[in-house]
Amino acid sequence: MRENILRLQELKKTALIGGGIDRIEKQHKKGKLTARERVELLMDRGSFEEIGMLKEHRSFDFGMENQQFPGDGVVTGYGTISGRLVYVFAQDFTVFGGALSETHAEKICKIMDLAVENGAPVIGLNDSGGARIQEGVNSLGGYADIFYRNTRASGVIPQLSAIMGPCAGGAVYSPAITDFIIMVEQSSYMFVTGPNVVKTVTNEEVSSEDLGGASAHSIKSGVTHLTAANDLECIQKLKTLFLYTTKQSGKDHQIRLYLRQ
């Protein structure tokens, strides 16, 4: 029994550092917080209860069985903001660039289901390059499950999204159909595919910022509702926006007054 307890403690320690200290330092050098740091800042102190902390992917192709990280690149759970229940997921860019796998998607779907069941808002902190290509159709199917839940939850509970890194493909399809989006200036991007693919297909050179940066989506496309100068400001704006959600007749509805200020 003691060996099992020690093993569990070691796994939890491994989960807490995501992809490792070196990758965390790289994240900090870019001016970005880690997934766990973002969750800690967002939630009331001591309120966060994590779900699926030790979950790992099930892929055995391309040597993936030798690359296991407890949590599989996303922190999921529930807690409170200003005393109110909320469900949260935060993608961890230090693990496979935050890429979504089948089990990664299962964790997100679980908290979305719980949010709808309990009539509570859901907040997504997105920092992902999209589907985990090593898993092929299984990861793409995971996105389909998330999209389905986004549409089913629409108008039932508030869905808030923060784009906090270079997100592409499925990683932005889901946020685009949520109620509100906040982007971080100069470090977050939303595009179907990146500048390199655009150049290959159209022979047009375009920067990440011009293609899908915060200014492009807040001024030109209108995809994002708010922008923030950095991760700290983004989290603070999320908390402020969260306070504008109210409960009426057993269902959650979002108040759009905040966007007019």
All domains of the chain in start order, with CATH: 2-260 (3.90.226.10)
The contacts of residue 231 (CB under 8 Å, 6+ apart) are 31, 32, 33, 38, 164, 184, 187
Read off φ and ψ for residue 169, nearest 5 degrees: 60, -135
> What confidence tens digit (pLDDT) does each residue in 167-218 have?
988 889 999 999 999 999 999 999 888 888 888 888 888 888 888 889 889 8
Q: What is the mean pLDDT of the chain?
A: 88
Closest CA to 160 of 71, 60, 248, 243: 243
Residue 36 sits at the vertex; the CA angle it makes with 222 and 122, to the nearest 5 degrees, is 50
Closest CA to 226 of 236, 235, 214: 214
Residue 128 sits at the vertex; the CA angle it makes with 234 and 132, to the nearest 5 degrees, is 165
Q: Does residue 246 carry a pLDDT above 60?
A: no
Contact indicator for 112, 146 with CB cutoff of 8 Å: yes
> What confidence tens digit (pLDDT) does each residue in 153-171 have?
999 999 999 999 999 888 8
> What confidence tens digit (pLDDT) does each residue in 125-151 have?
999 988 888 888 888 899 999 999 999
Q: What does the pLDDT average to over 74-97?
A: 94
